[in-house]
RNA sequence: GGCGGCGUGGCCAAGCGGCUAAGGCGAAGGUCUGCAAAACCUUUAUUCGCCGGUUCGAAUCCGGCCGCCGCCUCCA
């Protein structure tokens, strides 16, 4: 099976095609930098990361752009509450965002455009929309997109204009200056609540509406036609629908050719929300003692289009699964010299084929991981039979690199190495002492040392090749 | 009201018309060990919410029912 993705617009899984052979352009809806991002955000960013990684592994030259929303109601409110400038807020959370994605082994996009540095592009787009008759300036000074001027409005979300229920969630009074309550703001006229946040432009004094930045910035960096646009399912309507309308009417082209959306996650089976007190930022989870790699594992191991139930049991299970992966990786050094056993080579080939097929099938990470674990079990069994040799290691290592390039989960990251410090020296000495005690069958002394180390959280692992140790994670 | 999704072993989670229903965690047994731990191996769903239907054949398609959930104006 060749590479297939599920396209939200066409509502089915289709063979992936690109505009230019061998090149893929991706635009991701990124965070609003008004606070620390929560783990739901990171599910989305890990999904786009794996998408980008798999395209790279598949041989594509990928250009990835992710926006950072740095002006909107939330950023403005926060800066006012803290009585600091808007830039001070967004700078702080931009830094935090980059720390967070680095921590989760998420590859950096090639560009991170921000709304406030693309006002010109946005104004130009709005001017063009007004000129084409798709937008109008209302009495309140704001500029709105006229939804009825675009016949295909609703093509992405499958919504029909006449079905949209008006007034259920938002009082239509708030929008009395619009021609149609379904019209959305391109440019918001300044009012006192915005304080000193405004731009004096040809379309008035104000600030951009939220949807506008994505149309302007994606096409600026990727062209009016680009390959993939991603985001959370909640953005399909109205955000992405509006992006399409703006871009197609004001810029031309077909905008994004593929739309990939990730599902949300729940926490212990319940919707994550501040009122349920189960709203977690990445930093919250890290403070509880969980490791970035465990979090990445949990966030990536459920298919991106399925709801993910984020649980602390799941994090614990991820820890065990990761230990199994690492034990396997570390066991390679123990293999004796020798030619590759045919069954090992076959297992490796099977794993490669099966992994590729799973990932090609709309990024089936769960399936791909199952093949990683099957490989681990098969090679371990071969090792157990004494048939594992260094002969097949080059092939195995090459495959392992490929797997890790795709998933970013197989090799350790984000943890300080515990070796080489003074404490390690002391532990190693104690292990030496214990070995001597064991050799002289002084079991009491040997167990005493083992207990002593266990009390400080150091776990000893006796094996045929000697004793290894590691600090218990908690 | 409109549009859409989900229900697979104790937990998590693939599979979406046909080989014995992946895999992880957990649990049980075994190997190893001075005893352990760790590690590794083996075992762990005649069955896929319920009831009908289509089919030579269904967890997978269709219909109904039950249960859960999302979107419908700024939330990944």
| In a domain? residue A1 | no
Name the closest nucleotide to A270, judged by C1' and CA: B69
- A51-CA/B17-C1' distance, Å: 30
Confidence of residue A278 (pLDDT cuts 50, 70, 90): confident
Does strand B come within 7 Å of the CB of A193? no
More confident residue, A39 or A168: A39
Q: Note whether A251 and A275 are same-domain residues.
A: no
Whole-number Å distance, CA A366 to C1' B69?
A: 22
- Indicate if the pLDDT at residue A390 is higher than 70: yes
Residues A397 and A434 in one domain: no
Give pLDDT, residue A459.
84
Same structural domain, A138 and A176:
yes
pLDDT given for residue A164 in this prediction:
58
pLDDT at residue number A419: 53
Q: How confident is the model at residue A109 (pLDDT cuts 50, 70, 90)?
A: very high
Please name the nucleotide lying closest to A38, CA to C1': B76
Report the DSSP beta bridge partners of residue A348. none
Q: Do A40 and A144 lie in a common domain?
A: yes
**A394 within some domain:** yes
- Among A407, A433, A459, which residue terminates a domain? A407
The residue among A407, A436, A452 that closes a domain is A407
Range in A104-108, A166-170, A238-242, A450-454 the model is least confident about: A166-170
Q: Which residues 445 to 464 of A reach strand B, CB within 7 A?
A: 446-447, 450, 459-464
Q: Per-residue pLDDT averaged across A318-347, rounded?
A: 92
- Whether A275 and A340 share a structural domain: yes
CA angle A292, A297, A300 (to 5 degrees): 120
pLDDT band at A465 (very low <50, low <70, confident <90, very high): confident
Q: Give the pLDDT score at A281.
A: 93
Strand B interface, A 380-399, C-beta < 7 A: 380-381, 383-384
Q: Do both A87 and A234 map to the same domain? A: yes
Q: What is the CATH number of the domain that holds A313?
A: 1.10.730.10
Q: How far apart are CA A297 and CA A454, in angstroms?
A: 28
A210 touches strand B (CB under 7 A): yes
Region label for A184, one of left (φ > 0), alpha (ψ between -120 and 50) or beta (otherwise):
beta
CA distance A428 to A378: 33
| Domain membership flag for residue A252 | yes
Domain membership flag for residue A416: no
Please say if the pLDDT value at position A274 is more than 80.
Answer: no
User: CB under 8 Å to A171, separation ≥6 — which residues?
Assistant: none
Q: Is residue A414 part of a domain?
A: no
Distance A54 CA to B50 C1' (A): 40
**At A416, is the pLDDT very low, low, confident or very high (cuts 50, 70, 90)?**
low
Average pLDDT of chain A to the nearest whole number: 90
**Whole-number pLDDT of residue A168:** 43
Residue A311, burial from CB neighbour count under 10 angstroms (0-12, 13-18, 19+):
middle
Q: So what's the pLDDT on residue A76? A: 94
Pick out the nucleotide with least CA–C1' distance to A325: B24
Structure tokens, A67: 């926006």
pLDDT of residue A474: 56
Any strand B atom closer than 7 Å to A63 CB: no
User: Does position A161 have pLDDT exceeding 80, yes or no?
Assistant: no
Q: Which bases of strand B sit closer than 7 A to a protein CB?
A: 1-6, 11-15, 22-26, 32-42, 69-76
Identify the pLDDT of residue A242.
92
For B11, nearest residue by CA–C1' is A313
With 60 as the cut, is the pLDDT of residue A167 above it?
Answer: no
Question: What CATH number does the domain containing A33 carry?
Answer: 3.40.50.620
Residue A213 has pLDDT above 70, yes or no: yes
Q: Domain boundary at A224, A246, A262, which?
A: A262
In a domain, A311, yes or no: yes
Distance A326 CA to B57 C1' (A): 43
Higher model confidence: residue A204 or residue A168? A204
Task: List the domain range (segments joined by +) for residue A462.
Answer: 422-471
HSE of A287, CA atoms in CB hemisphere, 13 A: 5
The answer to whether A353 CB sits below 7 Å from nucleic acid chain B is no
Query: CA of A263 and C1' of B49: distance in angstroms?
Result: 23
- CB A323 within 7 Å, strand B: yes
> Total structural domains in chain A?
3
**A185 vs A138: CA distance, rounded Å:** 10
Residue A364 lies in a domain: yes
Q: What is the dihedral of CA A368, A370, A376, A378, to 10 degrees?
A: -110
Residues A196 and A215 in one domain: yes
Strand partners, A232: A262
Does residue A106 or residue A340 have the better pLDDT?
A106
In the structure, how far is the CA atom of residue A46 from the C1' atom of nucleotide B13, in angstroms?
Answer: 18
pLDDT of residue A418: 52
Spanning CA of A247 to C1' of B26, the rounded length in angstroms is 51
pLDDT, position A420 = 58
pLDDT tens profile A9-65: 988 889 999 999 999 999 999 999 999 999 999 999 999 999 999 999 999 999 999
Work out if A278's Cβ lies within 7 angstroms of strand B. Answer: no
Q: A168 in helix, strand or coil?
A: coil
- Residue pLDDT, tens place only, A423-432: 888 888 888 8
Do A171 and A298 fall within a single domain?
no
Q: Do A278 and A231 share a structural domain?
A: no
Task: Assess whether A320 and A352 both reside in one domain.
Answer: yes
Which nucleotide is at minimal CA–C1' distance from A45? B76
CB contact at 8 A, A183 and A138: no
Gap from A345 CA to B44 C1', Å: 29
Are A215 and A326 in the same domain? no
User: Does the pLDDT value for residue A172 go beyond 80?
Assistant: no
Does residue A131 sit within a domain?
Answer: yes
Distance in Å from the first CA to the final CA of chain A: 43
A134 Cβ neighbours under 8 A, 6+ residues apart: A145, A146, A149, A150, A245, A249, A250
Mean pLDDT of A372-396: 93
Q: Do A78 and A61 lie in a common domain? A: yes
């Amino acid at each position: 099976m060749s590479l297939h993705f599920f396209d939200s617009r066409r509502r089915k899984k289709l063979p992936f095609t690109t505009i230019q052979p061998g090149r893929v352009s991706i635009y991701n809806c990124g965070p609003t930098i008004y606070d620390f991002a929560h783990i739901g955000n990171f599910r989305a960013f890990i999904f786009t990361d794996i998408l980008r990684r798999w395209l790279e592994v598949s041989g594509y030259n990928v250009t990835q752009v992710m926006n950072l929303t740095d002006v909107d109601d939330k950023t403005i409110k926060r800066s006012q509450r803290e009585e600091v400038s808007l830039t001070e807020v967004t700078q702080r959370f931009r830094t935090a965002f980059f720390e967070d994605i680095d921590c989760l082994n998420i590859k950096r996009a090639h560009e991170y455009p921000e709304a406030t540095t693309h006002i010109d592009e946005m104004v130009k787009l709005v001017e063009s929309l007004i000129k084409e008759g798709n937008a109008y300036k209302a009495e309140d000074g704001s500029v709105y997109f006229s939804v009825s001027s675009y016949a295909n409005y609703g093509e992405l979300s499958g919504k029909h204009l006449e079905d949209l229920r008006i007034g259920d969630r938002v009082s239509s009074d708030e929008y009395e200056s619009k021609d149609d309550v379904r019209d959305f703001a391109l440019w918001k006229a300044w009012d006192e609540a915005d304080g000193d946040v405004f731009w004096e432009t040809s379309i008035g004094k104000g600030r951009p509406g939220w949807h506008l930045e994505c149309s302007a910035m994606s096409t600026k960096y990727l062209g009016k036609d680009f390959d993939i646009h991603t985001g959370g399912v909640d953005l399909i309507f109205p955000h992405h629908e509006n992006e399409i309308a703006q871009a197609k009417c004001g810029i031309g082209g077909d905008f994004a050719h593929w739309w990939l959306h990730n599902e949300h996650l729940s926490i212990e089976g319940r919707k994550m929300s501040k009122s349920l007190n189960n709203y977690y930022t990445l930093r919250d989870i890290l403070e509880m003692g969980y490791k970035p790699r465990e979090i990445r594992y949990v966030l990536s191991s459920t298919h991106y289009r399925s709801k993910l139930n984020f649980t602390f049991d799941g994090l614990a299970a991820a820890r065990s699964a990761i230990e199994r992966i690492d034990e396997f990786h570390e066991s390679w050094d123990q293999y004796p010299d020798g030619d590759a056993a045919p069954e090992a080579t076959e297992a490796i080939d099977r794993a490669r084929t099966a992994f590729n097929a799973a990932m090609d099938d709309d990024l089936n990470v769960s399936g791909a991981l199952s093949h990683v674990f099957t490989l681990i079990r098969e090679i371990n069994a071969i090792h157990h039979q004494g048939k594992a040799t260094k002969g097949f290691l080059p092939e195995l290592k090459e495959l392992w690199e490929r797997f890790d390039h795709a998933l970013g989960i197989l090799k350790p990251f984000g943890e300080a190495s515990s070796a080489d410090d003074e404490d390690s020296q002391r532990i190693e000495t104690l292990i030496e002492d214990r070995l001597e005690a064991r050799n002289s069958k002084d079991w009491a002394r040997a167990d005493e040392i083992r207990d002593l180390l266990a009390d400080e959280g150091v776990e000893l692992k006796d094996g045929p090749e000697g004793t290894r140790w590691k600090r218990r994670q908690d």
